[in-house]
Structure 1
Amino acid sequence: MMVGFGCPVILWLSLAAVQGSVLGLGEDMDRPLIGPPGSPVRLHESDAGLKKALQFVEERYNQGSNAMHLRKVSRLLSATKQLVKGIRYSITVELSNTQCKKSTMLRTCDFYPEIQKLKTEVCLFEVWDIPWQGTSTLLRQKCQPKVEVQQEETNNIVDASTSQPLEDSVELLGQFKEFMVKYNKDYSSQEEADYRLFVFHENLKTAEKLQTLDQGSAEYGVTKFSDLTEEEFQSAYLNPLLSQWNLHRLMKPAPSARGPAPASWDWRDHGAVSSIKNQGMCGSCWAFSVTGNIEGQWFLKNGTLLSLSEQELVDCDGLDQACKGGLPSNAYEAIEKLGGLETETDYSYTGKKQSCDFTSMKVAAYINSSVELSKDEKDIAAWLAENGPVSVALNAFAMQFYRKGVSHPMKIFCNSWMIDHAVLMVGYGERKNIPFWAIKNSWGEDYGEQGYYYLYRGSNACGINQMCSSAVVN
């Protein structure tokens, strides 16, 4: 059922259009976010680690700024931390000019009393802190000028229908309604609809930034995830365990390919890839990545393409955490211990953990061991072309708003340490001289290009080379 929108929504939208973008705004900053272990937790400004991180981002910002005066945090808008082999802080603040020049060494620096000299910016920082090593790394910095609302005393009545912000709001409302219809969205209340509209608006801006800064040929914009915050998207669809490197099981190295990689290769053209699947709102990407790999390995050894059961892993893999995340290395070991995988038909997917219903009599495919591939992309391509689709993982930040084309996000958006999504690499090639990896995703056929994501090949983009593995079927 469609949710109606009245005048209050449009008026609120016009104000939001004037005020500009502030990512991560929200009250109750010390309230934990709901999600799996390793998911973000909101911080209060009194948190000692946050204070240290704020000081760090101030220093890094001023080191990279060409401004004459120092800038300091004038307002904390939101802050979260996430445990990922250290602590990842995500901080949104306002930075404003002080009266201290960079060359001075003063203990206190007051802000300018005049608003026009404050030159306030809204900045999003991501910091990776490893306390036991005493190191901090700035992973991401995005800043934009804060737009102040100008309030003037007047007795004139302004016709709101002629104002530009309202025109923008009507256009935005139309986009949102189109989004709701296309993806069958239904919200429980007017308040929920208003909030989702706000998130949708912020996500349009994020997609626009990705589009402006993309180094490939990708198109970013409205997707079925456009009404989810970054934290909600991570909690529902991604896998925080992948970036906890201390949890990874050591695997045997894969033997090198016998020859160099051909110019292009696609296992879809050779019958080794099953149809696109959908993990739903469950962080089970690790299971889909592994079963896709085994489907390819079984096909190459036995000539039969089977659709194997991810639900068996979600229910029966005691080494991983079902919808809360898992690791391909663990999944291979669990499959060996179980004795194999049933088919999708015999053990169908529900998208939630249930009691294990595995039956050895129904095993349709098995594996003998597993191997880890080289981290060199040329070696990965050669191995893939010779041996079959590869289980891989990557930083999925840009994937939330990906529509088509070859994605090549800047490293500030897609660093190689924050890997949070497992997928299946099925091939590679070039489009208009842009080299790419062809990646089978598990978010349904209505994602990306008929369920596929194309990522730039040759620069280790988004950490795509960090976690490549395969089962071995003798």
Structure 2
Amino acid sequence: MAPWLQLLSLLGLLPGAAPAPTKPRGAGAEAWGPPSPALLEPARFALEMYNRDRAPGTQAVLRAVRGRVRQADQGSLYSLEASLEEPPCNDPTVCQLPVSKKTLLCSFEILDELGKHMLLRRDCSPVDTKVTGAGIPKDAGITPSYFDTQSLVLISSLSLPYPDGKNQTLSSVISLLNKGPLSKDFSMQMLSVFKNFLTTYNRTYESKEETQWRLSIFINNMVRAQKIQALDQGTARYGITKFSDLTEEEFRTIYLNPLLREDPGKKMRVAKPVGDPAPPEWDWRNKGAVTNVKNQGMCGSCWAFSVTGNVEGQWFLKQGTLLSLSEQELLDCDKMDKACLGGLPSNAYSAIKNLGGLETEEDYSYQGQMQACNFSAEKAKVYINDSVELSHNEQKLAAWLAKKGPISVAINAFGMQFYRHGISRPLRPLCTPWLIDHAVLIVGYGNRSDIPFWAIKNSWGTDWGEQGYYYLHRGSGACGVNTMASSAVVE
């Protein structure tokens, strides 16, 4: 692993590398068969990354592993489930959890490119354990057991190597450098910020324990957002959003779409390229082809919103009428996809064609959960004839968009949990195209202060990002934005 990738792992910025405080879950370990020899090398690498910087005597050992591998021209992606065993640990300065833990179940994503391994994701949870003694002291101090204190204990002289050769001192961008217990002033400051968050987003919890747990997650997320900010190569600003009290795993499970990286779905024909060069800038919002930003709610239905947004634009260009179309129809009636558990745009196009069209949002309103299919062919206002796969070349994508309309794409949503505004450009290892997990709609492109961007319509409501929009660097294949572009065809 390259030195700067090791640093990202140390800082807990490779996705899942530094999980937030987790609630215990009671589950017995399954009896697994002998591991495949092909999985042993990536599993040992994952274990090495897990044990990095752990004190002697506290390092875990690998007991069992199972998983699968997905291969492509660039290398191999291993998805592993592993059983780890930790020795007893009673020292709160080195234990990851406030009490001893023996067995953990972990999920790892490991990329092998050109013989070098990279840990992309890590999620570990204890088995058959109970966390006791959690609670905010009466003086409102926050003890280190509530979150990963190591996230704050960073060496002030540490420099961050960038691919362009420049270095940036960590202390210049992260002010929370503290080798001792967190101060009472810091604790009070965090409580005040958390209280403002609760008020701003009208957040309530079921119990005192839930509130305490969410506070610990919130603080972890503030630290994580600062790390993402320090390493972003664009102009994006990261910080508190309406998702700041969710763990990384919760956010992915509720709002993202893991099916996008599992299977490309139905094979679509390749679109003919556009002969005209791309104009310097373009925005379909200014031309009446884009409906208002919608909100998928607590449902992984981004695939449906991406596709309906594309069809809305295609229908507008062919018929001159902008209609807000029904995502709920796809959740209920598209039997190839999995509603709130995720789906693929290629399948959704087929479903629309086979059903006989889409109803409008007004006739078939969004509920945010799968229900019985209530599609009526008589109420369908829009139809499509086909769907096409678009070029991976971003210049060709821009030319196609300017002439043909908004484009359905899928991206790696790294950092979007904390995105506020600006042009996002995460480091490639952090936002690898191997981990595509969110479908969105490109509606335009341009430049801000000579930085090229894609203007992306998201489906998390107008109280996220720039009035519901996300701006991503254009021309570098950022976050895999060019890997799964498609469009419906309306003749």
TM-score normalised per structure 2: 0.72
Counterpart of 1:208 (choices 210, 226, 230) is 226
Report the Cα distance in structure 2 between the residues aligned to 1:219 and 1:369, rounded to whole angstroms.
39
**Could you say if the C-alpha distance between residues 190 and 59 of structure 1 is closer, same or farther in structure 2, counting changes exceeding 3 Å?**
closer
Counterpart of 2:189 (choices 150, 168, 171) is 171
Q: Using the TM superposition, give the Cα deviation of residue 73 of structure 1 relative to its aligned residue in structure 2, in angstroms.
A: 9.2
Q: Are 1:219 and 2:199 an aligned pair?
A: no
Question: Which residue in the other structure is 1:23 paired with?
Answer: 19
Counterpart of 2:321 (choices 297, 301, 304) is 304
Question: Which residue in the other structure is 1:292 paired with?
Answer: 309
**Could you say if the C-alpha distance between residues 125 and 287 of structure 1 is closer, same or farther in structure 2, counting changes exceeding 3 Å?**
closer
Q: Superposition pairs for residues 348-387 of structure 1, below 5 Å?
A: 348-387=365-404
Q: Using the TM superposition, give the Cα deviation of residue 258 of structure 1 relative to its aligned residue in structure 2, in angstroms.
A: 1.9
Report the Cα distance in structure 2 between the residues aligned to 1:342 and 1:319, rounded to whole angstroms.
19
* Native 8 Å contact 1:254 1:373 kept in 2: yes
SS of the residue corresponding to residue 432 of structure 2 reads coil
Q: Percent identity?
A: 52
Report the Cα distance in structure 1 between the residues aligned to 2:417 and 2:66, rounded to whole angstroms.
21
**Could you say if the C-alpha distance between residues 164 and 316 of structure 1 is closer, same or farther in structure 2, counting changes exceeding 3 Å?**
closer
Report the Cα distance in structure 1 between the residues aligned to 2:358 and 2:215, rounded to whole angstroms.
43
**Could you say if the C-alpha distance between residues 74 and 138 of structure 1 is closer, same or farther in structure 2, counting changes exceeding 3 Å?**
farther
Amino acid aligned to 2:288: G
Q: Superposition pairs for residues 58-457 of structure 1, below 5 Å?
A: 74-76=58-60, 85=70, 87-89=78-80, 127-128=109-110, 137-140=117-120, 165-245=183-263, 247-457=264-474
**Could you say if the C-alpha distance between residues 369 and 281 of structure 1 is closer, same or farther in structure 2, counting changes exceeding 3 Å?**
same
* Native 8 Å contact 2:433 2:480 kept in 1: yes
Q: Are 1:458 and 2:475 an aligned pair?
A: yes
* Native 8 Å contact 1:127 1:136 kept in 2: no
Amino acid aligned to 2:195: K
Q: Using the TM superposition, give the Cα deviation of residue 77 of structure 1 relative to its aligned residue in structure 2, in angstroms.
A: 11
Q: In terms of Rg, which structure is larger?
A: 1
* Native 8 Å contact 1:126 1:138 kept in 2: no
Report the Cα distance in structure 1 between the residues aligned to 2:318 and 2:436, rounded to whole angstroms.
31
Amino acid aligned to 2:417: Q
Report the Cα distance in structure 2 between the residues aligned to 1:224 and 1:90, rounded to whole angstroms.
31
Report the Cα distance in structure 1 between the residues aligned to 2:31 and 2:221, rounded to whole angstroms.
25
Amino acid aligned to 1:75: Q
Q: Using the TM superposition, give the Cα deviation of residue 22 of structure 1 relative to its aligned residue in structure 2, in angstroms.
A: 5.5
Size of the aligned set, in residue pairs, is 397
Report the Cα distance in structure 1 between the residues aligned to 2:302 and 2:152, rounded to whole angstroms.
40
Report the Cα distance in structure 1 between the residues aligned to 2:411 and 2:193, rounded to whole angstroms.
30
- What's the RMSD between the two structures over aligned residues? 3.9
Amino acid aligned to 1:191: E
**Could you say if the C-alpha distance between residues 354 and 27 of structure 1 is closer, same or farther in structure 2, counting changes exceeding 3 Å?**
closer
Task: Give the unaligned 5+ runs of structure 1.
Answer: 1-20, 33-41, 96-114, 117-123, 149-162
Q: Deviations over 1:405-449 (max 9, x none)?
A: 000011222110100000000000111111100000000000100
Counterpart of 1:55 (choices 44, 52, 62) is 44
Report the Cα distance in structure 2 between the residues aligned to 1:208 and 1:80, rounded to whole angstroms.
34
Q: Deviations over 1:192-225 (max 9, x none)?
A: 0000000001111110110000000000000000
**Could you say if the C-alpha distance between residues 27 and 89 of structure 1 is closer, same or farther in structure 2, counting changes exceeding 3 Å?**
farther
* Native 8 Å contact 1:127 1:137 kept in 2: no
* Native 8 Å contact 2:152 2:223 kept in 1: no
Q: Deviations over 1:378-405 (max 9, x none)?
A: 1101100110000000000211000000
Q: Using the TM superposition, give the Cα deviation of residue 307 of structure 1 relative to its aligned residue in structure 2, in angstroms.
A: 0.2
* Native 8 Å contact 2:21 2:217 kept in 1: no
Report the Cα distance in structure 2 between the residues aligned to 1:195 and 1:369, rounded to whole angstroms.
48
Q: Using the TM superposition, give the Cα deviation of residue 56 of structure 1 relative to its aligned residue in structure 2, in angstroms.
A: 1.4
**Could you say if the C-alpha distance between residues 145 and 231 of structure 1 is closer, same or farther in structure 2, counting changes exceeding 3 Å?**
closer
**Could you say if the C-alpha distance between residues 288 and 22 of structure 1 is closer, same or farther in structure 2, counting changes exceeding 3 Å?**
closer
Report the Cα distance in structure 2 between the residues aligned to 1:349 and 1:269, rounded to whole angstroms.
26
